[in-house]
Structure 1
Amino acid sequence: MIEIKVKTFQELTTQQLYDILQLRSEVFVVEQDCVYQDIDGKDQKALHVIGFKDQKIVAYTRLFKPGDYFELASIGRVIVSQAQRQYKYGYDIMNASIEAVKTHYNKTEIKISAQCYLKRFYGNLGFKEVGDEYLEDGIPHIGMIYKK
């Protein structure tokens, strides 16, 4: 079981920000062997959805209101630490993120840029594919939309 908190950039402690950036680098840069600019100047606008287990950050997403990333509200940087994936925390963090978009932005339509190998995972959460596959940072992605 993970404890999930939603915070603005200003509410993050320095240690939490460090741990989030470390986890993102660990998975998106090292594990996926993808060199890209993770620190993109957008974290300050985002809401940060953080999954804690034993006071350690093990899952994370960031949310944007409509117009800050895509035309629709969006969820990005979806991540669960490799050692914790067996517990299906991806569903917990995504369900909490969908709820946070509804609560904080009063929106029920959400766009994501999904890595193609995760289409089924996002489909299980109610996201539907839109458009064609494309390369983002050398990794195949597809646009997906959630509507409730």
Structure 2
Amino acid sequence: MQVKTFYQLSHDELFAIFQTRVAVFVVEQACAYQEVDDIDKAPDTLHVFLMHEGALQAYARCYKPDAASCAIGRVLVSAESRGKGVAQSLMTRAIETCRSHYGQLPIKIAAQTYLTQFYQSFGFEPCSEAYLEDGIEHIDMILP
């Protein structure tokens, strides 16, 4: 797994990240929204990713939405890499990245509800009721 800021990413890495995020979140999940946003290039945002032979296998971004917390978002495993344990490695590295760069702040995620148990296995706890975001049921979770 690699961890880089926006400006440390190579052109090829950035292209693979954006291409795969759009493939998963916009096309596969049929959600029309502004997938690439200003959080991507914020100075305190860190991109956690796994590349293999030029293809993105897994990705998450870590950032600080406010002074009291940090967040992990845009978590994905490419269709070709699912079911191979990559998601566990990705989340472990994303949590480590948050802890090492942002300290012991609570970590927030907006999880798709079908992944609640997956995130609970890392210690995340639900902190909201289920809600629809872009037509997909989500729940807010926090790792204290």
TM category, shorter: over 0.9
1:145 aligned residue:
142
Q: Note if contact 1:50-1:57 (Cα within 8 Å) is conserved in structure 2.
A: yes
Q: Note if contact 1:25-1:38 (Cα within 8 Å) is conserved in structure 2.
A: yes
2:59 aligned residue:
60
Q: Distance in 2 between matches of 1:73 and 1:52?
A: 24
Q: Distance in 1 between matches of 2:53 and 2:21?
A: 19
Deviations 1:26-61 (A, max 9, x none): 111111111111012210112100112344321000
2:48 aligned residue:
49
Q: Give the superposed CA RMSD.
A: 1.4
Greater alpha carbon shift after TM alignment, 124-133 vs 91-100: 124-133
| Residue 125 in structure 1 maps to residue 122 in structure 2 | yes
Q: Distance in 1 between matches of 2:134 and 2:82?
A: 23
Q: Note if contact 2:70-2:98 (Cα within 8 Å) is conserved in structure 1.
A: yes
Which runs of 5 or more residues in structure 2 are unaligned?
Answer: none
Q: Note if contact 1:73-1:107 (Cα within 8 Å) is conserved in structure 2.
A: no
TM-superposed CA distance for 1:66, in Å, is 5.0
Q: Distance in 2 between matches of 1:42 and 1:12?
A: 15
What is the identity percentage for the equivalent residue pairs of Structure 1 and Structure 2?
43
Count of aligned residue pairs for this structure pair: 142
- The TM-score normalised by the length of structure 2 is 0.92
Q: Distance in 2 between matches of 1:6 and 1:39?
A: 18
- The TM-score normalised by the length of structure 1 is 0.90
